Amino acid sequence: MAERLLSVEGLRVEFKTRDGIAKVIDNLSISLDTGETLGIVGESGCGKSMTALSIMGLVPIPPGRIAGGRILLDGEDLLQANEQRMREVRGNEISMIFQEPMTSLNPVYSIGNQIAETARLHEGLSRADAMARALEMLQAVGIPAAEKRIHEYPHQMSGGMRQRVMIAMALACKPRVLIADEPTTALDVTVQAQIFDLLNDLKEKTGTAIIMITHDMGAIAEMAQRVVVMYAGRIIEQAGVTQILTDPRHPYTQGLIRCVPHLTRNPTVERPPLLEIPGVVPALSQLGSGCAFAPRCPYADAKCRAEMPPSRAVDSGHDVACWLTEREAAA
Amino acid sequence: MTDSDNTQSRQIDEMPETPVEHPFRQFVTMYMRNYAAVAGLLVFVVIVAAALLAPVILNVDPFEMVDVPLLPPGESGHLFGTDNLGRDMLVSIIYGARVTMAVGGAAAAITLIIGLSIGAMAGYYRGWVDEVLMRITEFFQVLPPLLLAMVLVALFSPTLETVAIAIGVVSWTGVARLARAEFMRLRELDFVKAARSIGGRDRRIIWLVILPNALPPLIVNAALTVGIAILFEAALSFLGLSDPNVMSWGKLIGDNRDYLLDAPWTVTIPGVAIFLTVLAMSLIGDGLNDAFNPKLRER
């Protein structure tokens, strides 16, 4: 098997809370190839963003703690790397864009300066060269009149434009992995589509692999080739995007897909109620020995509540961690 | 034209045209819009100019007794009158401005450097660093500032340097607390996370990413601190705890306080000078606050 660009193996992250140790990420393994987009889906608090921060080496320690596992970038374990090496990695090899474009740009610097900063930090470019790079990046992310807007400040731009600037900043050093943490959640639907197009476009041009973190199944359908579904810090289902969307096996994945509202051409007075998954993600410090989803699962039985289901392949490249599939296989 | 070009040109139309001006010019424009701040700046410039040019324009010794003591203002060509020893008040005020501005500025700078360093570290690193630095801050907060300053000046020689350092040492706690609060608020913001995610080191994040955002309240505070330091210096020299060989406004008030009822100008003129200077500093602080905030520029 060819060397993976990025692979996370058995990652475990714990947080110390007042109620005890919370296993924020439990035995997580994902991998990513060049030019691939991996979607990570799940509700708030299921460990998606913490996965991103772990890869960036930005988990707040304390109260956080990396309890185990490896994060391999081209075979180099980032968890063993020192802070200086991590600073070289961040922004240069792995970059990140954040959910809130309104707050993720520094209000006191012009956008050109902020993009140039990445290039200056990592490539030691002169001021003029870095600004030239910034201009190039602004043009690449489709900012109109870039040579004029480069001197503008974040507050002079709309949300979509700011997210483009964020993307330009993240890609300024042509990183090999881009982590997008809910990059479109705060944006209008039409702008969302533009950002997706832009990311796909840039991925094709530069070969940057993307980890797309979202709770929006629509975004997954638009962007990802492979999908990881997370619940309470664990991967519960992992498959290609078509398999996930057409044949979801885990009750939680099925629930997530049913939650997406559908457009009807002729809305009648009588509209079917939107389905939801009852309950909320449990407190991570209070997980029992059973499946974390069992309290909310319509199919849960005694075994589900007592024992954690192992992950098993139900199809090629389709893994599910659910006793239900075990039962089906046995039947 | 391709499809993507179309969406871009549509977006141009949607966005309001904002003229791009040089940031410094915007800053000046915003400051100039605040008339009170402009007035404060004028007063400040006049005082600083007087202080700097005193030896050039006057070239006399402020301690020289030139006339009868306690002459009222305007008499015998003494615009501000004379003091208890027959020294020209105008000359004293102008020379006093030198000491006042120098000590005020130096003390404020010391205050800012100590307070900002401690507050920034505590607010950024949190944890045990914060605990230790805040306990130190509290220790300085519970000591009566004037008393501590008097002790420091009395322990060491009463020179202007000692006075400035003493004032700085007793008044940095407020700046530290303010800086800490700002850093604690700002460190959680996404752009700080973003700065870390592009590989910035702590030093860069503290001084170049967070500090410029924390500046507006600190600058207002710094301007006020200059005012407070001036008052402090006046208080110390009023009590005789300053360099007796230099003329200062507080010393003028202290020397002449016995003649308050007979020759009120000997006390009120330096008092008014102190008042105007402190007022000018707070107006300047206010104007700087407006001008530093880029969001206000749009209004």
For the segment A195-243, what is each residue's pLDDT rounded down to a tens digit? 888 888 888 888 889 999 988 888 888 888 899 998 888 888 888 888 8
From the list A103, A144, A170, which residue is nearest B190 (CB)? A103
Per-residue confidence (pLDDT) for residue B21, from 0 to 100: 60
Which DSSP letter does residue B212 get?
H
Which DSSP letter does residue B207 get?
I
B166-175: average pLDDT: 93
For chain A, how long is the longest CA-to-CA vector? 69
CB within 8 Å: A121 and B199: yes
Length of chain A: 331
CB within 8 Å: A104 and B190: yes
What one-letter code names the amino acid at A70?
Answer: R
From the list B8, B191, B298, which residue is nearest A142 (CB)? B8
Per-residue confidence (pLDDT) for residue A44, from 0 to 100: 78
Q: pLDDT digit string (tens) for A74-122?
A: 888 888 888 888 888 888 888 888 888 788 888 888 888 888 888 888 8
Average pLDDT of chain B is: 85
More confident residue, B142 or B62: B142
C-alpha–C-alpha distance, residues B180 and B165, integer Å: 22
**DSSP calls for A176-189:** SEEEEESTTTTS-H
Q: Does residue B17 register a pLDDT over 70?
A: no
Per-residue confidence (pLDDT) for residue B295, from 0 to 100: 60
Per-residue confidence (pLDDT) for residue B184, from 0 to 100: 93
Element spanning A52, H or E = helix A48-56
Contacts of residue B93, defined as CB under 8 A and 6 or more positions apart, other chains included, come to B80, B249, B252, B269, B270, B273
C-alpha–C-alpha distance, residues B8 and B205, integer Å: 34
ipTM of the complex: 0.78
Q: Calculate the dihedral angle through the C-alpha atoms of A128, A133, A135, A137, rounding to the nearest 10 degrees.
A: -160
- Beta pairing partners, A230: A235
Chain-centre distance of CA A84, in angstroms? 25
CB within 8 Å: B191 and A107: yes
From the list B11, B197, B212, which residue is nearest A96 (CB)? B197
CB within 8 Å: B190 and A56: no
A36-42: average pLDDT: 89
Judge contact between A199 and A210, C-beta under 8 A. yes
Coil, strand or helix: which one is B65? strand
Per-residue confidence (pLDDT) for residue B132, from 0 to 100: 96
CB within 8 Å: B212 and A108: yes
Q: Does residue A193 register a pLDDT over 90?
A: no
- Residues of chain A in Cβ contact (below 8 Å) with chain B: 56, 58, 62, 86-92, 95-96, 98-100, 103-110, 117-118, 121-122, 142, 144-145, 148, 151-153, 155-156, 158, 160-161, 166, 169-170, 194, 197
For residue A197, the chain B residues in CB contact (below 8 A) are 4
A-B contacts at Cβ under 8 angstroms? 91
CB within 8 Å: B198 and A95: yes
Q: Which of A62, A34, A89, A329 is nearest to A211 (CA)?
A: A34
Is the dihedral angle over the CA atoms B88, B62, B40, B120 positive or is it negative?
Answer: negative
Per-residue confidence (pLDDT) for residue A118, from 0 to 100: 84
For residue A106, the chain B residues in CB contact (below 8 A) are 191, 194-195, 209, 212-213
Element spanning B292, H or E = helix B265-292
B158-178: average pLDDT: 92
C-alpha–C-alpha distance, residues B153 and B166, integer Å: 7
C-alpha–C-alpha distance, residues A67 and A51, integer Å: 13
Mutate to test the interface with A, among B189, B191, B293 (most CBs of A within 10 A): B191
Work out the pLDDT band at B298, boundaries 50, 70, 90.
Answer: low
Element spanning A96, H or E = strand A94-97
Q: Which of A183, A175, A176 is nearest to A199 (CA)?
A: A183
Work out the pLDDT band at B10, boundaries 50, 70, 90.
Answer: very low
Chain-centre distance of CA B281, in angstroms? 6
Average pLDDT of chain A is: 83
Work out the pLDDT band at B20, boundaries 50, 70, 90.
Answer: low
Per-residue confidence (pLDDT) for residue B294, from 0 to 100: 58
Q: pLDDT digit string (tens) for B172-229?
A: 999 999 999 999 999 888 888 888 888 888 888 899 889 988 887 888 888 888 888 9
Judge contact between A240 and A225, C-beta under 8 A. yes
**B68 CA: distance to closest CA in chain A (Å):** 59
Per-residue confidence (pLDDT) for residue A141, from 0 to 100: 82
For residue B20, the chain A residues in CB contact (below 8 A) are 148, 151-152
φ/ψ of A318, rounded to 5, equals -130, 105
Q: Which of A285, A187, A202, A250 is nearest to A41 (CA)?
A: A250
Residue of A nearest to B216 (CA): A108
Contacts of residue A215, defined as CB under 8 A and 6 or more positions apart, other chains included, come to A41, A42, A43, A44, A48, A182, A185
For residue A121, the chain B residues in CB contact (below 8 A) are 198-200
Q: Does residue A286 register a pLDDT over 80?
A: no
Residue of B nearest to A63 (CA): B127
Per-residue confidence (pLDDT) for residue B271, from 0 to 100: 93
CB within 8 Å: A151 and B198: no
Q: pLDDT digit string (tens) for B246-283?
A: 888 988 998 898 898 988 989 999 999 999 999 999 89
Establish whether the linkage from the previous residue to A63 is cis, with ω within 30° of 0: yes
Residue of B nearest to A173 (CA): B198
Mutate to test the interface with A, among B27, B189, B198 (most CBs of A within 10 A): B198
Per-residue confidence (pLDDT) for residue B3, from 0 to 100: 44
φ/ψ of B87, rounded to 5, equals -95, 145
- Residues of chain B in Cβ contact (below 8 Å) with chain A: 4, 7-9, 11-12, 14-15, 18, 20, 23, 127, 189-191, 193-201, 209, 212-213, 294-295, 298
Q: pLDDT digit string (tens) for A231-255?
A: 888 888 888 888 888 888 888 888 8
C-alpha–C-alpha distance, residues A308 and A285, integer Å: 16
Domain B23-298 -> CATH class: mainly alpha
Mean pLDDT lowest among A97-101, B126-130, B233-237, B271-275: A97-101
Per-residue confidence (pLDDT) for residue B140, from 0 to 100: 94
CB within 8 Å: A98 and B194: yes
Judge contact between A217 and A244, C-beta under 8 A. no
Residue of A nearest to B293 (CA): A108
C-alpha–C-alpha distance, residues B118 and B167, integer Å: 17
Q: Does residue B11 register a pLDDT over 70?
A: no
C-alpha–C-alpha distance, residues A104 and A89, integer Å: 20
From the list B14, B20, B191, which residue is nearest A151 (CB)? B20
Per-residue confidence (pLDDT) for residue B12, from 0 to 100: 42
Residue of B nearest to A157 (CA): B15
Question: What's the pTM?
Answer: 0.79
C-alpha–C-alpha distance, residues A17 and A30, integer Å: 27
Contacts of residue A21, defined as CB under 8 A and 6 or more positions apart, other chains included, come to A14, A15, A285
From the list B9, B20, B198, which residue is nearest A91 (CB)? B198
C-alpha–C-alpha distance, residues A160 and A187, integer Å: 6
Chain-centre distance of CA A249, in angstroms? 21
- Parallel, antiparallel, or unpaired for β A20-32 and A6-17? antiparallel
CA angle B47, B52, B58 (to 5 degrees): 95
Give me the residue label for tokens 């401005």.
B97
